[in-house]
Amino acid sequence: MLSNRLLNITPSYTIDISSKVNKMINSGLDVINLSIGEPDFNVPYMAKLHGINSLNNNCTKYDIVAGLEILRSEISNKLNTENNCNYSPDEIVVSNGAKHAITNTLLAITNPNDEVLIPKPYWVSYGEMVKLVNAVPKFIDTKKQNKFKLTQYDLNNSITNNTKLLILNNPSNPTGSVYTKKELMNILDFCLKNNIYILSDEIYEQICFNEEFISIASLSKQAKDITITINGFSKSAAMTGLRLGYSASNKSIAKAINTIQGHLLSHPSQTSQYIAYGALKDCKKEIKTMVNEYKRRRDLITSKLNCLPYIDYIYPDGAFYVFVDISKLSGSFNTTNSFSIEFCNKFLSKYQVAIVPGIAFGMDNYVRISFSCSENLFLEGINRLNDFILKLM
Ligand code: PLP
């Protein structure tokens, strides 16, 4: 009875785990949730104030589809000054979160059966989003020795005449890897040579610790022409529930996205847009404080993980996750199903700690641990992981 579109779609693992955890918490269990990719900070006060004022001024009517002019100007200003990306306000469309900006882009760029390249490990929703728009995800293997960053070598055997788009996630969820300028140059060269668009998901751009963050669209005029830059406020300004993100692209792609959004959504809530405007304009200091805290937590969690036996991990230079290699523990599991799911289920039921199985990101020998929560939670979670591993071996 339902659309065939849904036949191959897997529900989101991370949302699934969250509802399992909520049920356990509601039944009175003391669960440590290290599965969630959500800042534990509140939206900065000055940002909220812009939203409150907008409501008091009755800014509650329909407005421009692409988003408030003042917000798009502020985003354009940010992209120019902070990212060296020369996007004008009419090349920006504000949407209901980065997720929605990505879906808009896929609708605007792909035809049925077009292939979309997705490097592994990938963020959980990319493949399913591509399938939902009737395009075809093509997953590309990358190498652990490169911190799972995509190289030209990985790309070489992946393209066909139907390849239309590459999805790049920088900094990466789940690895926290950040691309250098040289690495981006190589990917750009390949895409320009082969006529492939780039969707650059930069939602964790502000949460960058060591490496200087570089937007691929900033590399040249040609780079900007083939790139759709995706960003948003969920992670940087702790605005997950306010659902605000955006795409920046050349004018003709922006116009196509605008047309799609006009029919499917109109525009995101004005209140959220005013809060995002406030976050950009008045909250740089608060955002910097949050990023410094994530960096402190990154240092803490990695030094703790260094003491655990049988595992290793990708050292994160950005975002707020650690991608942990558990392959040496696979011998302790006698399963025909996914090893990482079994691992996480057992860890959750026996030690009451929720982490995400690597299979959600296309890699079954890994798990993802989030440090977007307070340090006493993740430190206790890692203590319990240590006990779990010792019991297994
Ligand atoms: N892209 C990546 C890589 C993410 O990790 C997430 C959220 O976890 C999103 C996009 C979605 O962000 P938003 O809340 O803005 O829709």
pLDDT in tens, 108-132: 999 999 999 999 999 999 999 999 9
Q: What is the pTM of this model?
A: 0.97
Average pLDDT along the chain: 96
Query: What crossing angle do the helices spanning 13-26 and 339-351 adopt, rounded to 10°?
Result: 20
pLDDT of residue 262: 97
CATH number at residue 335: 3.90.1150.10
User: Is residue 292 included in any domain, yes or no?
Assistant: yes
Clarify whether residues 119 and 32 are in a common domain: no
pLDDT at site 132: 95
Question: Does 207 lie in the same domain as 125?
Answer: yes
Residue 203 Cβ < 6 Å to ligand 1 = yes
Q: In what order do the strands lie in the sheet with 312-314?
A: 312-314, 321-325, 366-370, 356-357
Phi, psi of 353 (to 5 degrees): -125, 130
Residue 26 shares a structural domain with residue 160: no
Residues 258 and 347 in one domain: no
Ligand 1 atom with the smallest distance to the CA of 14 is 8
Average of per-residue pLDDT across 265-289: 97
Encode pLDDT of 378-388 as tens digits: 999 999 999 99
Q: Mutate which of 228, 235, 244, 275 to test ligand 1's pocket (most atoms within 8 Å of Cβ)?
A: 235
- Read off the pLDDT band of 368 (50, 70, 90): very high
The whole-angstrom separation of Cα 254 and Cα 128 is 23
Alpha carbon distance 44, 349 (integer Å): 36
ipTM of the prediction: 0.99
**Which CATH number do you get for residue 160?**
3.40.640.10
Count the domains in the chain. Answer: 2
Q: 393 near 332, Cβ under 8 Å?
A: yes
Find the domain containing 82 and state its range. Answer: 46-282
- Boundary (domain end) residue, out of 231, 257, 282: 282
pLDDT of residue 38: 94
Q: Are strands 115-119 and 136-140 parallel, antiparallel or unpaired?
A: parallel
How far is Cα 223 from Cα 191, in angstroms, rounded to an integer? 9
Same-domain status, 180 and 159: yes
| pLDDT reported for residue 387 | 98
228 domain-assigned: yes
Determine, yes or no, domain membership for 61. yes
* Mean pLDDT computed over 13-18: 80
Average pLDDT over residues 102-111: 98
**Band of the pLDDT at 15, cuts 50, 70, 90?**
confident
CB distance 245 to ligand 1 below 6 Å? yes
Please indicate, yes or no, whether residues 96 and 149 belong to a single structural domain of this protein.
Answer: yes
Token output for 180: 């250098």
One domain for residues 326 and 238: no
Q: At what angle do helices 125-132 and 97-109 cross, to 10 degrees?
A: 40
236 shares its domain with 289: no
User: Looking up tokens 């010792």, which residue turns up?
Assistant: 390
| pLDDT higher than threshold 80 for residue 12 | no
CA distance 219 to 206: 18
Q: How far is the CA of 276 from the centre of ligand 1 (A)?
A: 16
Asked if 128 and 99 count as a contact pair (C-beta separation under 8 A), the reply is no
